[in-house]
Amino acid sequence: MNSTTLPEIANNGSKYSEALGPFILTFDILEVVVGIVAILINSLAIYILTTRLKLKQSDTILSFIVSIFDVVYSLFTIINCLVLWITNHSAILDTLYAQFNGYLFFCLGACVIDSVMLLSIIRFLAIYKQVQYSNRFWVRLILGLAMFNFMLGLIPLIQNQFKVQPSLKYCSVEFSFQNNWSVNLYYCIIWIKLTINMTIIMVCYFFISLFYYNYLKNYNEEEVEESEKLPKFNWRDLGGIQFDTGSIQLELDKIIIFRGKKRGEGLGELVILQLTTQPRQ
């Protein structure tokens, strides 16, 4: 059986796509909408990272690379959906299109996951361990992983081992003892690599969350300790104090303003003002 064919599928995918009904169309539309939103968000992120943050830190540089990979992957999904709509899903059954579909799908997806994994490691080292490596080190590492993904994907691509999935949207490698050992090795490597990446991402962000939790907890405890050091004021202490405004009398008696002349005028002028404030009734 050809690697790009499926059981019970003729030379075009119209019969299969009609059997799926509105579900496949809804899924396609949703995927296109998500792809467009991802392109817009990542384009905004690229603009901020390049114009505002100037790509000076390791995490900003890697975030820029993640956004680039995500934009390319989103463009790939949108173009793939449009091609399948135009050809009524029959394009996926073409050997050349199917092989490059599976190749790009797995290579670009692996690059995105690798970038997110490295970004989580950078933040974990900087926040939890206070350790930083040079920008050149991280750039070389992500480019090396990307090259590894594309080189590794050549194994099933050359042997035409990407097979069409039941959704008639993507192609992937399937594990089988009938395959060449190199194809099964590729299958194992990509899934082991994905498992390791997801584990690293979850562990790194767990410790980052734990760090911020302890930081906020200690910060709140310090605020409580400082507030306890302040003198406490009890409003009940004022219960026995009575204020009698009627007995308060402000009296300014005999305010003497002396205006003296410095030379030859004797005592000068005396102006006596008496102001008395009567108690309130």
Lowest mean pLDDT among 90-99, 218-227, 269-278: 269-278
At 29 the pLDDT is: 87
Cβ-Cβ contacts under 8 Å for 247 (sequence gap 6 or more): 279
- DSSP secondary structure string, the chain? --TT--TT--SSSHHHHHHHTHHHHHHHHHHHHHHHHHHHHHHHHHHIIIIISTT-SHHHHHHHHHHHHHHHHHHHHHHHHHHHHHTTT-GGGSHHHHHHHHHHHHHHHHHHHHHHHHHHHHHHHHHTS-----HHHHHHHHHHHHHHHHHHTHHHHHTT--EE-TTSS-EE----TTS-HHHHHHHHHHHHHHHHHHHHHHHHHHHHHHHHHHHHHHHHHHHHHHHHHSPP--GGGGTT----GGG---EEEEEEEEE--SSS-TT-EEEEEEEEPPPP-
Determine the pLDDT at residue 8: 44
Q: What is the pLDDT of residue 67?
A: 95
More confident of the two residues 12 and 35: 35
pLDDT of residue 226: 66
> Residue 228 has what pLDDT?
62
pLDDT at res. 253: 45
pLDDT attached to residue 278 = 47
Q: Where are the domains of the chain?
A: 20-214
Query: Tell me: the pLDDT tens digits for 115-143?
Result: 999 999 999 999 988 888 999 999 999 99
CATH class of 20-214: mainly alpha
The pLDDT value recorded for residue 21 is: 58
Angle between helical axes of 135-152 and 181-229 (0-180°, round to 10): 150
pLDDT of residue 125: 94
- Quote the pLDDT of residue 54: 87
Residue 18 pLDDT class (50, 70, 90 cuts): low
Residue 24 pLDDT exceeds 60: yes
The winner for highest mean pLDDT among 1-15, 67-81, 256-270 is: 67-81
Q: Are 107 and 166 in contact (CB under 8 A)?
A: no
Beta strands 171-172; 251-259: pairing state: unpaired
Over residues 208-264, the pLDDT tens digits come to: 999 988 888 887 766 666 666 656 555 555 555 555 544 544 444 444 444 444 444
- Separation CA 84–CA 97 (nearest Å): 11
pLDDT for 25: 75
The reported pLDDT for the residue numbered 268 is: 44
pLDDT in tens, 161-220: 999 988 788 899 999 888 899 999 999 999 999 999 999 999 999 999 999 888 888 877
pTM above threshold 0.75: no
Mean pLDDT of the 270-280 span: 43
**At residue 13, does pLDDT exceed 50?**
no
Q: Write out pLDDT tens, residues 31-69.
A: 899 999 999 999 999 999 999 888 888 889 999 999 999
Give which of 168, 170, 171 is closest to 17, Cα–Cα.
168
